[in-house]
Amino acid sequence: MILPKVSIVINNYNYESFLGEAIESALDQTYANKEIIVVDDGSTDNSKRVIENFSESIKAVYKENGGQGSAFNEGLKHVEGAIVAFLDADDVLAPSAIEQVVDTFETNQKLVCVRWRLALIDEDGCLLGASNPAKNLDVPTGDLMPSIIENGWRYPTPPTSGNAFLTSVLKDFFPIPAAIRRCCDVYLFGNTPMRGAMAFIPEELGYYRQHVAKKNHFRLNQRKVVEELGAADVTDQSVARFICEKHDPAFDVRAAWGLVGDEVLRFAVYRFAKGADVGSVLPPINCVKFKKNWSVSKKIKWMVGVSIIKLSPSEKVAYWMAGVMLKKHNIFGAMVINHN
């Protein structure tokens, strides 16, 4: 039996300190029929020198800086494999990851994506005693379309480096829109399960780096929220178009999927925009138009969150409190890690 070729696409921007380890982990896969593509998104550090050290074993692609989405798009153009796995340059794959992924794909011809758990590590590669997704979370598998139509695509799932996709499926909804510069995995998480079944390997088959020493890496601010929430909004609209075309022409994404956290952050974005570009972020809902099926507790949480934003004396305080509310960090600004 001829096993499918797998393309591992590493996207990099100024991660010279970690890039070499990511490339080595891709090259060290026990699965033989693979190619490694490294897309450098206009790095200004010594990433090019690191990439050149592996020039005989990988396909290097250099481009001007355009954000993670453009790097994904460029990488897919060079893919020759039937399966593609995107690996962030600061993450690492376990040696048997791709072999287990292919084995899983072979068990079910309806699969379009195979996911796996990632162990959390810090900047030095030390284990943090946790994983993503956390082991106490139920990661949905199989046909997720009915659940997504009803509740949206925000389900527990590993980040970029814990996913492998059928290339043909990605090409059905790529390219990633230019409006999404970062958090591109959400566009994949929303669109992929609309096209087939999803699988999950509970074993930790990789390592997801948490930059715990860089406190601004996980704390919220206006720019970060505009980028992250904008990516979610673009994804919502993309999935909604698919639903309207294939299932329900009258589908209303805001009425169906309104989330408390998103609506609180929208309120913050528009309060502190002060004429600045808010990207693809949609306006917040009107207070008299609560989502009909919101529970009383969700409505209270929304009112508390909006009140915090309204009463905050500054943008920094508002986003700090929003970060606490959404469990991005604790009240002291330390990252919240779910040790399960």
CA distance 225 to 308: 16
Residues of the chain with pLDDT under 50: none
Q: What contacts 194, CB < 8 A, 6 or more positions away?
A: 145, 148, 239, 242, 243, 246
Task: Return the ∠ at Cα 67 (arms to 337 and 195), rounded to 5°.
Answer: 75
CATH architecture, domain 6-213: Alpha-Beta Complex (3.90)
- Residue 92: its pLDDT value, please? 98
With beta carbons less than 8 A apart as the criterion, state whether 265 and 234 touch.
Answer: no
Sequence spans of domains, the chain: 6-213, 216-325
> Is 67 within 8 Å of 41 (Cβ atoms)?
yes
Name residue 15's beta-bridge partners. none
Q: How far apart are CA 306 and CA 100, in angstroms?
A: 45
pTM: 0.91
* C-beta neighbour count of 63 within 10 angstroms: 14
> Are 291 and 258 a contacting pair, CB within 8 Å?
yes
CB-CB contact of 192 with 84 (8 Å): no
Whose CA is closest to 181, among 230, 222, 216, 220? Answer: 230
The partner residues of 115 in beta bridges, in order of sequence, read: 163, 200
For 293-329, what is each residue's pLDDT tens digit? Answer: 678 888 888 889 999 999 999 999 988 888 888 887 7
DSSP state of 142: B
Q: Taking a C-beta distance cutoff of 8 angstroms, is the pair 184, 11 a contact?
A: no
Q: What's the full length of the chain, in residues?
A: 340
Q: What is the pLDDT of residue 215?
A: 54
The mean pLDDT of the chain is: 91
Instruction: Say if CB 319 and CB 222 are below 8 A apart.
Output: yes
Alpha carbons 25 and 208: distance in angstroms, whole number: 13
Parallel, antiparallel, or unpaired: how do β-strands 127-132 and 111-121 relate? antiparallel
Question: What CA–CA distance (Å, rounded) separates 175 from 79?
Answer: 14
